[in-house]
Amino acid sequence: MAEETNQNEAMKWNGCPGPILLLGAPAVGKGTQAKELTRVWKIPQISTGDILRSNVALGTDLGRIAKGLMDRGDLVPDYLMNEMINMRLRKPDTFRGYILDGFPRTLAQADWLDNRLEMQAAAKAQEHCSGLVAVSIRLDYNRLIRRVTGRRNCPVCHRIYNIYGLPPKREGFCDVEGEPLYTRADDTLEAFENRMRAYRELTEPVIEHYRQMGSFAEIDGGEPMGIVTVKIVEAVYSFRSQTAAQ
């Protein structure tokens, strides 16, 4: 009963979520959760993978550099990623907070972000909600394989489906747009193995970095989608209410 009350409070809370990092392996559910959380908190999802894919589709200079790397499952260089995030975080819709999905992915990116947030806090630009909360979503390897091979995306609204776990009502078509769904170019087993290698070598140290820093939660990504969302919301709410009480 007490647990339910806490959940209700967390879901109704309309304070300042601040910067939220969603960390985890490829296909663990970061994008799926980020989309749910934007609805709960009315703050933007900033997905580095989505921004890069739209640059590839538009044929920009960044897109041309990124395409080959992404298709193989290699990371795009840090300086390009940091600059891309820097531009995005200048937009006013990030003032109450934002959900970073897929960034930072290397310790160099994490250092850059930590410095940016520190400078912002020093300038009291976003005083009441400047500290970040990092959420690591976990799932075992075999289930990640099903997530990646079963993923289908809508080209219009970017909804994410899974033929095994979260299928559309009509096979092959988006529930909302009615558009044919597509499979991402990097959703091959070969590219997935490379992405896992990059994750283990470069991103797991980032997760350890934020674990040490505190304001860190670990969530089981194997639960149904709605339960994972509630667990993330509760974790962030609990950190934010502690900060407000200090």
Summarize as ranges the residues that interact with Mg ion (CB under 5 A). Answer: 31, 49
Closest distance to ligand AP5 from the beta carbon of 32 (Å): 3
Q: Pick between residue 48 and residue 240 the one whose CB is nearest to ligand AP5.
A: 48
- Does the annotation mark 105 as catalytic? yes
Strands (DSSP E) found in the chain? 18-24, 45-47, 97-101, 133-138, 151-153, 160-162, 216-220
Count of residues engaged in binding ligand AP5, rule: CB under 6 A: 35
Nearest residue to Mg ion, scored by beta-carbon proximity: 31
45 binds, among ligand AP5, Mg ion, none (CB under 5 to 8 A by kind): none
Beta bridge partners of 136: 23, 218
The residue to which tokens 């095994």 are assigned: 164
* Closest to 161 (Cα-Cα) out of 173, 153, 169: 153
Closest distance to ligand AP5 from the beta carbon of 212 (Å): 20
Pairing of strands 151-153, 160-162: antiparallel
Q: Footprint of ligand AP5 on residues 18-77 (CB under 6 A)? A: 24, 26-32, 48-49, 52, 69-70, 73-76
**DSSP string of 75-131?**
PPPHHHHHHHHHHHHTSGGGTTEEEEES---SHHHHHHHHHHHHHHHHTTTTGGG-S
- Does the annotation mark 151 as catalytic? yes
Measure the CA–CA gap between 31 and 232, rounded to whole angstroms.
13
- Does the annotation mark 195 as catalytic? yes
Q: Which of 151, 152, 159, 240 is catalytic?
A: 151
Binding mask 194-213 for ligand AP5 (x = CB under 6 A): -x------------------
Q: Pick between residue 17 and residue 102 the one whose CB is nearest to Mg ion.
A: 102
**Tokens for 41?**
């908190």
CB contact set of 143 (below 8 Å; sequence gap of 6+): 222
Q: Pick between residue 192 and residue 240 the one whose CB is nearest to ligand AP5.
A: 192
Q: Which of 67, 96, 152, 195 is catalytic?
A: 195
28 binds, among ligand AP5, Mg ion, none (CB under 5 to 8 A by kind): ligand AP5
Catalytic residues: 30, 105, 151, 184, 195
